[in-house]
A and B are shown apart, each in its own frame.
Chain A
């Protein structure tokens, strides 16, 4: 099917429908909203994260495992990882859209950005769950 979205002469679609999804990377305003939603959550989660890290420093392995396996600590870490990785994925996408103009390189950069964000998120979440749930058995 021919993509006539940008050609106003050959389509009866409304102006809004024509531009929907035509952001620099095929996304509309949802990223703008998600970036602010995660930005609002981040300070609280990050301050919790900083306190946890400070409590961790200099601790031996069993104590470190005990701390991360505490439900409140594990919950703060899980929420922080989700909010931060969503936020950083969108932030880096904006930077790519602003500075990488070559279509091929932009596609590669956007793929790499998504893979990196998902890798970080899954690695962190798996580690937190393994440490905290492993204690129950």
Chain B
């Protein structure tokens, strides 16, 4: 039997994203995906570090030198912030998954809180790491 042919109807098109005013929830949703992608690429650094550790002192010293350099530290600092941002973003999604915090005020503050919280956590982690060294 031939597959049923559905009549084609001119469907109304949904307006594209750029006509909307940027909101906090929208910006943080996009940023959650961007940070996820950055972590996806950045985990290669973790793999390189671990494989270098397994390879021996020569490889490890080279990698340790890189992560100890200004550029390496900057990469690690940004990586920490992206990690914390994605983590808090994920926890925010959990709150929403369970049906909480969806009213206007709370969803706004949950989104702002992701940005503020990730920045504070990153500074806290680095301050602790430097103090406890």
Contact = CB atoms under 8 A, between A and B. Distances in A.
Interface of A: 7-10, 36, 39-40, 42-43, 46, 50, 53-54, 57-59, 61, 64-65, 68, 77, 84-85, 88, 91-92, 95, 119-120, 123-124, 126-128, 130-131
Contacts of A8: 4
Given A57-B68, A58-B68, A92-B37, A128 B90 contact: no
Given A36-B97, A42-B87, A131-B53, A54 B46 contact: no
The 8 closest A-B pairs by CB, nearest first: A127-B50, A127-B54, A54-B129, A61-B57, A130-B54, A123-B47, A127-B51, A88-B40
Interface of B: 1, 3-4, 33, 36-37, 39-40, 43-44, 46-47, 50-51, 53-54, 57, 60-61, 64, 67-68, 76, 80, 83, 87, 90-91, 93-94, 97, 125, 128-129, 132-133
A133 B47 CA distance: 18
A7, A46, A61, most chain B CB atoms within 10 A: A61
A16 B40 CA distance: 34
B3 A7 contact: yes
Contacts of B67: 57
A50 B80 contact: yes
